[in-house]
């Protein structure tokens, strides 16, 4: 019976008794000062870093985005192969549409009137040799003839004037958690303004129309140098929005950089190029083609950002964490 009474007593004590920690008063200036300094550091961390800098009172969402682009510009060339020719958007934008990107042709190696037959190769090899020209013999091959000669890239760039082309970039963004959407053509931009504005970091920072040459220069590159062998440029659009502020405060910020490798000590396969052919049939039903080795600049539009809005749950969690830290120091 005494054993049973002891268990009941312990249970009663556990439920109804209340204990407090023993407090010891230490009369030491150094210990007291250290305690206050630690408390101030914790307060500065909670208020300054968690709430002011990291906005710990907000809930966050990442951006969902769509991008379309429209390039404008006309160029004229006069060469021995093509004569005088005018180039418009349908000629130098290949393909007409890409996802979050567009490609502008800047240089070209043209091999017209190719047919499938036997002909001499450009580079010297072993095997059956036939005359390539009056002084050089090369191997005979089955190919689209005459074969392409891409040993020399046109310099200056065939469409160096593409630096004066412009592109309109339309970007729509959505934060699903807050049901917030916006586009980079801001509400205060009129049709008349859009007809005449060109992006400028200082004077027109929200104009969505960009001159290609200026865009490359913003990244610290030379358009004419880049146009020779091509390359890849990044157009970065940042949407970092505080949705506790007015709708008009959520605006895009543009930045630019070159994305392809520019290591001068390992410059293997530089630039950006691909081959493209246009096929024809003559009156005798013989198929021929014009082969184009196209160099150009690919512009990738990269959209990123986060939005934050006040929410009581992260606010209380961070306040509780701060109070708990102060409680540990105070004990």
71 is in an annotated binding site: yes
- 274 belongs to an annotated ligand binding site: yes
| 293 annotated ligand-binding residue | yes
Q: What is the 3-state secondary structure (H, E, C) of the chain?
A: CHHHHHHHHHHHHHHHCCCCCCCCCCCCHHHHHHHHHHHHHHHHHHHHHHHHHCCCCEEEEECEEEEEEEEECCEEEEECCCEEEEECHHHHECCCCECCEEEEEEEEEEEEEEEEEEEECCCCCCCCEEECCCCCEEEEEEEEECCCCCCCCCCCCCCHHHHHCEEEEEEEEEECCCCEEEECCCCCCCHHHHHHCCCECCCECCCCEEEHHHHHHHCCCCHHHHHHHCEEEEEEEECCEECCCCHHHCCCEEEEEECCCCCHHHCCCCCCEEEEEEEEECCCCCEEEEEEEEEEEEEEEEEECEEEEECHHHHHHHHHHHHHHHHHHHC
Determine whether the annotation assigns residue 273 to a binding site: yes
Q: Which residues are annotated as part of the binding site?
A: 70-72, 166, 273-275, 293
Q: Which residues are annotated as part of the binding site for ATP?
A: 70-72, 166, 273-275, 293
């Amino acid at each position: 019976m005494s054993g049973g009474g002891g268990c009941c007593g312990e249970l009663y004590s556990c439920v109804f008794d209340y204990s407090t920690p023993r407090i010891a008063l230490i009369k030491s200036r150094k210990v007291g000062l250290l305690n206050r300094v630690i408390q101030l550091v914790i307060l500065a961390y909670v208020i300054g870093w968690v709430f002011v800098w990291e906005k710990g009172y907000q809930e966050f969402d990442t951006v969902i985005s769509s991008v379309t682009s429209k390039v404008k510009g006309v160029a004229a060339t006069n060469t021995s192969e093509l004569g005088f020719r005018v180039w418009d958007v349908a000629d130098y934008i290949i393909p007409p549409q890409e996802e979050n990107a567009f490609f502008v042709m800047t240089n070209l190696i043209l091999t017209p009137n190719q047919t499938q037959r036997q002909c001499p190769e450009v580079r010297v090899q072993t095997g059956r040799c036939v005359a390539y020209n009056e002084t050089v013999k090369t191997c005979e091959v089955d190919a689209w003839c005459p074969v392409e000669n891409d040993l020399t890239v046109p310099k200056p760039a065939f469409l160096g004037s593409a630096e004066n082309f412009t592109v309109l970039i339309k970007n729509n963004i959505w934060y699903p958690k807050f049901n917030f959407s916006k586009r980079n053509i801001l509400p205060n931009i009129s049709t008349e303004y859009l007809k005449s504005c060109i992006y400028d970091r200082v004077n027109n920072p929200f104009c969505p129309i960009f001159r290609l040459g200026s865009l490359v220069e913003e990244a610290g590159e030379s358009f004419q140098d880049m146009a020779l062998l091509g390359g890849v440029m990044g157009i970065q659009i940042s949407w970092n929005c505080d949705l506790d502020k007015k709708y008009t405060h959520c605006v895009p910020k543009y930045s630019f950089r070159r994305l392809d490798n520019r290591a001068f000590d390992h410059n293997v396969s530089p630039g950006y190029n691909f081959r493209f052919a246009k096929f024809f049939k003559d009156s005798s039903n013989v198929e021929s083609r014009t082969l184009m080795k196209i160099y150009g600049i690919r512009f990738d539009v990269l959209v990123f950002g986060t939005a934050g809005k006040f929410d009581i749950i992260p606010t209380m969690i961070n306040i509780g964490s701060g109070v708990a830290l102060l409680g540990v120091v105070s004990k």
